[in-house]
Structure 1
Amino acid sequence: RETERSGFSPFSPGPPSSPLLHSSDQQVAAAAAQEGQNSRGVKRLPRLLMATLNDSFLADLDELSDNEDHVPDEVEADLGDLEDDVDGDFADIEALNYDDLDSVSKLQKTQRYVDIMQKVEDALQKGQDVPSYGITLEDDPEYQLIVDCNTLSVDIENEIIIIHNFIRDNYRLKFPELESLVHHPIDYARVVKKIGNEMDLTLVDLEGLLPSAIIMVVSVTASTTSGKPLPEENLKKTIDACDRALVLDLDKKKVLDFVESRMGYIAPNLSAILGSAAAAKLMGTAGGLSALAKMPSCNVQILGAKRKNLAGFSTATSQFRVGYLEQTEIFQSTPPSLRIRACRLLAGKSTLAARVDATRGDHTGKTGRDLREAIRKKIEKRQEPPPAKQPKPLPVPDSEPKKKKRGGRRLRKMKERYAVTDMRKLANRMLFGVPEESSLG
């Protein structure tokens, strides 16, 4: 019945018309079905259908190729420019020599770097000027210099990372395990410059460069390392890279000192909470006051945090991740058990103060001092001991009449369950003066 409803029977001369096939395709399919009455025609039916589908697909591809011939000239020009840009980028990458330090590190030779450092040195020698609150912050040239200094400090940090990778790749042949023991780039550069090509680290004094525990681990690891002495040329490149990284670190400190000396004018509320030094470091790492104001407090909390390597020691006494906020006076004066709470409070209030300073809401710093006082009160509140438990006096005997316990269905059921029945009374009954009959059965 279903074959009759569908209009197609295995004994019918042709297949039903399909909306997916064109009229010509339907005619070919009908002819193939007519031929399919014999066994050879049945075998040819799938082949003919595939042939018609292939023809339709080829026709569609021809139409697409015809459309591609009419591409506008502007699109062709854009595609040509894109290909030229890609080829130029690949050419620059191929021309870059990773064995040459000057081709890897180019920041110190840029005119922008030289100009900003010259202005910073002149400003540090001249001293701090009287701030001019009459003009807007964006029009003040000193503020523009501070913004440039914040951007430059981020660029210096990135350049130090690039030089650190260069030093690590060259010194890996001498001491491959050192990069997993000393993570900070400046510390790594100092240690590499101190060790040099020396294979016996007992002759090298690393005191003052690393903690005592890390020095011990480095010495033990160096005694079993598989590294070999570097050639003189590679060693010279590595030492030059270390010197360049240390010079960049000194320039970064100069920039931060300049920003710190102007923090009372640029960010008075943030300086009132954290102090000028910590506020300048936060601004330098974040990339400016506006960037710091847009940053969430959870990210402000870890700005400047170093990756700590315990070298197999216990993590029970290790400190949580905290950056420049640990250098503040509030954090240092807080007991260790409450420092996590204090760090979160400092991060949240510092973000609010940075937003006030970014909008020039209060140039007197009163908002920052109020926020600092609020942090202190919350920490002091946390340090207060819990209230002592007051002794509860005993009640006066028979001072109040006994309360009648309420009865109910549960109480009645319980009394009925444990009540002495008449049968139990008769079972335990004994007459006076009459001997009891007993048996030992």
Structure 2
Amino acid sequence: MSLADELLADLNGLDDDFSDDADAQALDSLVAAATPVNAPEAHANPNRCSKPSNQTPAFDITDTNTVSVVAKLQASSQYQSTLTQIRQALTADSQSLATSLDPHLAATYRYEAEYELVVTASNLVTEIDEELVVLYQYVRDHYQAKFPGLESLIPNTLDYFKTVQAMENTSQVTHLDLKSFLPASVAMVVTVAASTTKGRPLPEPTLQAVMQACDMALDLNIDRQLILQFIESRMTVIAPNLTAVIGSTTAARLVGHVGGLRQLCQLAASALLVLGKARKVETGYSHIPAHKKDGFVYRSSAVQDQPVDLRTKAARMLSAKCTLAARIDLTRNYPGGDMGRQMRQDIDGKLAKLAEPLPSKKVKPLPAPLEAPKKRRGGKRARREKESHAMSELRKQQNRLVFGEAEQEADYIDEEIVGLGMIGRNSGNARAVTADQRIKATVSKKYRHLGSGSAITAPITAGTATSGLASSLAFTPAQGLELHNPTAAQQQELKDLSSRYFQSSRQMLQSKRKHTET
């Protein structure tokens, strides 16, 4: 399979949605597969660069007081020769070569001449990180007899070396200027803890070995910064499209972390996003992870310049484009970086679109009211319907008040006081309630044929109702207890009234007057 086919196969696996666990598991295997066959033994094991600080070497480093037995990188000839070449490349005037040749040819020449040195420098950065971890373990194991728990107070590796170098074997740290390299809060905590520690002074040989290890660690960090500066300066030639997408600093860190541009091309976008996470104990950074995917891409200026809610999305977009740009740089199709700049413009446009505020909600005016005339029903039935719901005169009098005078009040049910308003203002007494003929209940024509004797149409008059205390039993002196008819008195009254006019013994007045005249 050709290189182009491999790149196309890798492009099919790009996706913005990926999980952290899959990224972390795939990262080590991909980096191991990307390591060249002829690389040194130190480079063949990529897991060494992510060695945790609490992992001990194969031998006990507390049994020796010689630092050179533990850390051998700085004294190696390959290390010194690589640093010499890097210093010469930084001091050389490479611009004269670029101006005397065609830009494309100059870029190609510099790429072929310096690519191997950039790859070697990238591998050297990984070795320096491993050496710093070993030196940190050496200093921590020896100095904990003097100051137990100091490594828990200072999570930063370089700050720990500087603190041990400043404190040495003294127990009075109040006169030391720890705030020059430590935050004020951390310096105060270290000062208070040093005054209460129960550690013992170190022997002179052990103290000299610890100080030598601190000096070596700080020198290695200076060399590491020099190498990263060299890689960053050559990124515009080695990886112009990758530099245009993510920046020269982040591009140098990515290439230096995996050991070369070819190894970076073999990583998926999900694995590239998690490169340089804080949990991998990157030298110079805190061991406490501040973000779930706080890698080189996330810490780049292109991501940090975005709003907080868009940083994760920006990091994913940049990691995908960085993978494409690295593969383009490996094939040398766009040595001027035009494709990388176009990718960066597309990303900036999408992020600017996402950062735009939502469109304001338009205020819609209310529809014009209909001015059509209302339908008002008239006639006798409509007027009668309105009168049935109208306010009575008594209620109108109750709702009226005389200015400056208190109204009369009346007690109602549940001790409620009801104002009478102007009811009875003229006579002094509240007049009796009269039935309003307008709202009087009426009987429809449908039920009027039932007759006047019907319970529906029969009028209710006072005095005709039977009392609730009336009984059909009566006590008489003749028979004692008698069954009394309650309507007997009414029937007798009707009988007496009719007997005066219709009795047989009574003559008609008109006929008697005529008989007398004759």
When normalised by structure 2's length, the TM-score is: 0.55
Q: Report the Cα distance in structure 1 between the residues aligned to 2:295 and 2:179, rounded to whole angstroms.
A: 24
Q: Report the Cα distance in structure 1 between the residues aligned to 2:141 and 2:353, rounded to whole angstroms.
A: 52
Matches within 5 A, 1:48-197: 98-128=64-94, 129-130=97-98, 133=105, 140-197=112-169
Shift of the 161–393 alpha-carbon distance from structure 1 to 2, 3 Å rule, reads: same
Q: Report the Cα distance in structure 2 between the residues aligned to 1:354 and 1:118, rounded to whole angstroms.
A: 28
Q: Report the Cα distance in structure 2 between the residues aligned to 1:298 and 1:440, rounded to whole angstroms.
A: 98
Shift of the 193–398 alpha-carbon distance from structure 1 to 2, 3 Å rule, reads: same
Q: Report the Cα distance in structure 1 between the residues aligned to 2:165 and 2:353, rounded to whole angstroms.
A: 50
Query: Post-superposition shift, 1:346?
Result: 2.3
Question: Structure 1 residues 278-287 or 156-165, which shifts more?
Answer: 278-287
Give the letter for the 2:222 counterpart.
Answer: L
- 2:133 alignment partner, SS class: helix
Give the letter for the 2:349 counterpart.
Answer: K
- 1:214 alignment partner, SS class: helix
Aligned length: 318
Larger Rg: 1 or 2?
A: 2
- 1:140 alignment partner, SS class: helix
- Hey, what does 1:206 align to over in structure 2? 178
- Hey, what does 1:248 align to over in structure 2? 220
Q: Report the Cα distance in structure 1 between the residues aligned to 2:212 and 2:270, rounded to whole angstroms.
A: 38
- 2:178 alignment partner, SS class: coil
Shift of the 159–434 alpha-carbon distance from structure 1 to 2, 3 Å rule, reads: same
Matches within 5 A, 1:29-428: 98-128=64-94, 129-130=97-98, 133=105, 140-306=112-278, 321-325=293-297, 328-395=300-367
Q: Report the Cα distance in structure 2 between the residues aligned to 1:388 and 1:139, rounded to whole angstroms.
A: 52
Q: Report the Cα distance in structure 1 between the residues aligned to 2:205 and 2:245, rounded to whole angstroms.
A: 51
Query: Post-superposition shift, 1:187?
Result: 2.0
Shift of the 208–372 alpha-carbon distance from structure 1 to 2, 3 Å rule, reads: farther
Tell whether the 8 Å contact from 2:156 to 2:286 is kept in structure 1 after alignment. no
Give the letter for the 2:87 counterpart.
Answer: E
Shift of the 391–137 alpha-carbon distance from structure 1 to 2, 3 Å rule, reads: same
Q: Report the Cα distance in structure 1 between the residues aligned to 2:90 and 2:287, rounded to whole angstroms.
A: 39
Question: Structure 1 residues 150-159 or 269-278, which shifts more?
Answer: 269-278
Tell whether the 8 Å contact from 1:189 to 1:242 is kept in structure 2 after alignment. yes
- 1:324 alignment partner, SS class: coil
Tell me the alpha carbon deviations over residues 307-334 of structure 1, each in whole angstroms, 9 at most, x when there is no partner.
Answer: 67699xxx9xx65552333554423432
Tell whether the 8 Å contact from 2:126 to 2:256 is kept in structure 1 after alignment. yes
Q: Report the Cα distance in structure 1 between the residues aligned to 2:219 and 2:332, rounded to whole angstroms.
A: 35
Query: Post-superposition shift, 1:336?
Result: 3.0
Q: What RMSD in Å do the two structures reach over aligned CA positions?
A: 3.6
Tell me the alpha carbon deviations over residues 95-137 of structure 1, each in whole angstroms, 9 at most, x when there is no partner.
Answer: 9864421111111222211211111111112133537748978
Tell me the alpha carbon deviations over residues 79-109 of structure 1, each in whole angstroms, 9 at most, x when there is no partner.
Answer: xxxxxxxxxxxxx967986442111111122
Q: Report the Cα distance in structure 1 between the residues aligned to 2:115 and 2:194, rounded to whole angstroms.
A: 49
Query: Post-superposition shift, 1:367?
Result: 1.3
Give the letter for the 1:374 counterpart.
Answer: D
Shift of the 283–309 alpha-carbon distance from structure 1 to 2, 3 Å rule, reads: closer
Give the letter for the 1:174 counterpart.
Answer: K
Query: Post-superposition shift, 1:438?
Result: 10
Q: Report the Cα distance in structure 2 between the residues aligned to 1:141 and 1:438, rounded to whole angstroms.
A: 131
Tell whether the 8 Å contact from 1:181 to 1:309 is kept in structure 2 after alignment. no
Shift of the 398–358 alpha-carbon distance from structure 1 to 2, 3 Å rule, reads: same
- 1:175 alignment partner, SS class: coil
Shift of the 184–123 alpha-carbon distance from structure 1 to 2, 3 Å rule, reads: same
Query: Post-superposition shift, 1:392?
Result: 3.7
Tell me the alpha carbon deviations over residues 239-281 of structure 1, each in whole angstroms, 9 at most, x when there is no partner.
Answer: 1000001111111111111111111110001111222222112
Give the letter for the 2:70 counterpart.
Answer: V
Q: Report the Cα distance in structure 2 between the residues aligned to 1:277 and 1:95, rounded to whole angstroms.
A: 38
Structure 2's unaligned 5+ residue stretches are 1-56, 280-284, 372-446, 448-453, 470-518
- 2:177 alignment partner, SS class: coil
Q: Report the Cα distance in structure 1 between the residues aligned to 2:167 and 2:249, rounded to whole angstroms.
A: 33
Tell whether the 8 Å contact from 1:184 to 1:306 is kept in structure 2 after alignment. no
Q: Report the Cα distance in structure 2 between the residues aligned to 1:147 and 1:438, rounded to whole angstroms.
A: 123
Shift of the 297–173 alpha-carbon distance from structure 1 to 2, 3 Å rule, reads: farther
Q: Report the Cα distance in structure 1 between the residues aligned to 2:109 and 2:188, rounded to whole angstroms.
A: 52
Shift of the 392–339 alpha-carbon distance from structure 1 to 2, 3 Å rule, reads: same
Tell whether the 8 Å contact from 1:356 to 1:362 is kept in structure 2 after alignment. yes
- 1:363 alignment partner, SS class: coil
Tell me the alpha carbon deviations over residues 358-378 of structure 1, each in whole angstroms, 9 at most, x when there is no partner.
Answer: 232321101110111112112
Q: Report the Cα distance in structure 2 between the residues aligned to 1:236 and 1:438, rounded to whole angstroms.
A: 128
Tell me the alpha carbon deviations over residues 38-71 of structure 1, each in whole angstroms, 9 at most, x when there is no partner.
Answer: xxxxxxxxxxxxxxxxxxxxxxxxxxxxxxxxxx
Shift of the 132–176 alpha-carbon distance from structure 1 to 2, 3 Å rule, reads: farther
Equivalent pairs: percent with the same residue? Answer: 36
Tell whether the 8 Å contact from 1:138 to 1:144 is kept in structure 2 after alignment. no
Q: Report the Cα distance in structure 1 between the residues aligned to 2:59 and 2:329, rounded to whole angstroms.
A: 46
Q: Report the Cα distance in structure 2 between the residues aligned to 1:93 and 1:330, rounded to whole angstroms.
A: 42
Shift of the 299–195 alpha-carbon distance from structure 1 to 2, 3 Å rule, reads: farther
Shift of the 342–213 alpha-carbon distance from structure 1 to 2, 3 Å rule, reads: farther
Structure 1's unaligned 5+ residue stretches are 1-91, 400-425
Q: Report the Cα distance in structure 2 between the residues aligned to 1:187 and 1:354, rounded to whole angstroms.
A: 34
Q: Report the Cα distance in structure 1 between the residues aligned to 2:75 and 2:178, rounded to whole angstroms.
A: 32
Q: Report the Cα distance in structure 1 between the residues aligned to 2:467 and 2:163, rounded to whole angstroms.
A: 104
- Hey, what does 2:31 align to over in structure 1? none
Q: Report the Cα distance in structure 1 between the residues aligned to 2:203 and 2:105, rounded to whole angstroms.
A: 59
Shift of the 132–368 alpha-carbon distance from structure 1 to 2, 3 Å rule, reads: closer
Identify the structure with bigger relative contact order (alpha carbons < 8 Å, sequence gap 6+). 2
